[in-house]
Amino acid sequence: MERVEGKESLRYLSKTFRQVTEGFCVIVLGVDPGTAITGYGVVRTAGDRVEALDFGCIKTSEDESLGSRLKRIHDGVVELIRRYCPDMVAVEELFFSKNARTAMAVGEARGVVLLAAAVCGCAVREYTPMQVKQAVTGYGKADKRQVQAMVRTLLRLDRVPHPDDAADALAVAISCVHSASTEMALSSSASL
């Protein structure tokens, strides 16, 4: 797994340790699947803030067989899950493009990401590109630059995360955090 850019990692935190030392928090692993580049972003809630713990990408080579590429993606995601013990894995849903071959390749990468999460016993949430844009920018048809700028702002980063796949994965993770916060608020008000 190649790490392109990221923050210092917080290794092997157990959920019990996080709850005792920091109060309630949620760690989400966001994934933007692709056969050549699978972006990942790990975020943590800290009170009303969301902060980036790590982000980067898992790269594979065209020279590798498809099976080897998918195994590399699977193993990379399993490693991230073991390192960060996320409460949820958030995955971008397949965007149907005009190129059926590209759609199939992304679908295969999504499949191994979902498998890795299932094997590790992680809850999975899936979000469409429009849901991600809506959660991050407030506008479901925002362009890529707007989403990246908001990811930088929301996570208080010095610059826009690179590569684009990592920024997209962080956006997916932020969407999951916002969605979980909304669900918790609604369930709290319903129980009153």
Indicate which residue of 32, 54, 87, 168 is catalytic: 32
The full DSSP string for 1-39 is ----S-PPP-TT--HHHHHHHHSS--EEEEEE--SSEEE
Amino acid at 175: S
> Rounded distance, CA 122 to CA 83, Å?
13
Q: Is 165 a catalytic residue?
A: yes
User: Residue written as tokens 């493009």?
Assistant: 97
Q: Is 92 a catalytic residue?
A: yes
Indicate which residue of 8, 108, 126, 165 is catalytic: 165
Q: Is 63 a catalytic residue?
A: no
Indicate which residue of 54, 87, 92, 168 is catalytic: 92
Which segments within the chain are labelled E, that is strand? 27-32, 37-46, 49-59, 88-92, 123-127
> Rounded distance, CA 73 to CA 165, Å?
14
CA angle 14, 17, 18 (to 5 degrees): 90
User: Residue written as tokens 């909304």?
Assistant: 182
- The catalytic residues are 32, 92, 165
